[in-house]
Amino acid sequence: MDQINFFPLWLSLKTASISTVIVFLTGVFLSYLVSRKEFFGKSIIEAVFLLPLVLPPTVVGFGLLYIFGKNGMIGKILIDLFDFQIVFTWYGALIASIVVSFPLMYQSASAAFKQYDKNLENAALTMGKSRWIVFWTIAFPLAWPGLLAGLVLAFARGLGEFGATLMLAGYIPNVTETIPLAIYFAVESGKMEIAKFWVIIIVALGFFAILWLNWWSARNMMKHNR
């Protein structure tokens, strides 16, 4: 068996971890904001947020390439002003991970903020508490189980992202090589033992992430039932 290069594991964990932090913060903020407001076009905005969930990854990747490519809306600005490009860098893998995992976080957070009695928030607001204090002392703690579920799912989704990453970041060993890309190109080159090794690693990571979430949820439920 060929020697294993552990760079894909490092890059996958790095991109998945950073993207999870970003989508957690943005997903929680946007879902709370949207769930508490009724306005024209709300359903359209939510459809846009969830669109990457139903689109093929290659379509998402093409869209990102169109935006961040050297002639894209954002890509051209970055090159002209900062001489910096997203394409064929690990930042491309990070952006792809953020875009495909955001819908899971947003959907979970939105459901979490809708499941408890809103009168608790209204009562605090009528007592003169600010919306910020109400969020941190009432909304966030009550929604936390759902937010945690979204966080774990977003991490697992970011860890397994393939299509959009390949379109935007490409496959460059030791530069943009995530675990899914390492598996695909190992199979392509006939290195089945290396592919099998990475399959086991990514399945184990996903399995233990979900197992831990189920354990935590069961433990949390037992505490509330006491």
Average pLDDT over residues 166-172: 95
What confidence tens digit (pLDDT) does each residue in 81-123 have?
999 999 999 999 999 999 999 999 999 999 999 888 777 888 8
Q: Per-residue DSSP letters for the chain?
A: -PPPP-HHHHHHHHHHHHHHHHHHHHHHHHHHHHHT---TTHHHHHHHHHHHHHS-HHHHHHHHHHHHSTTSHHHHHHHHHH----TTSHHHHHHHHHHHHHHHHHHHHHHHHHSS-THHHHHHHHTT--HHHHIIIIIHHHHHHHHHHHHHHHHHHHHT--HHHHHHT---TTTT--HHHHHHHHHHTT-HHHHHHHHHHHHHHHHHHHHHHHHHHHHHHHHHH-
Confidence at residue 130, expressed as pLDDT on a 0 to 100 scale = 83
Going along the chain from its start, the domains and CATH numbers come out as 7-178 (1.10.3720.10)
Confidence at residue 170, expressed as pLDDT on a 0 to 100 scale = 94
Confidence at residue 204, expressed as pLDDT on a 0 to 100 scale = 96
User: What does pTM read for this prediction?
Assistant: 0.92
Confidence at residue 1, expressed as pLDDT on a 0 to 100 scale = 55
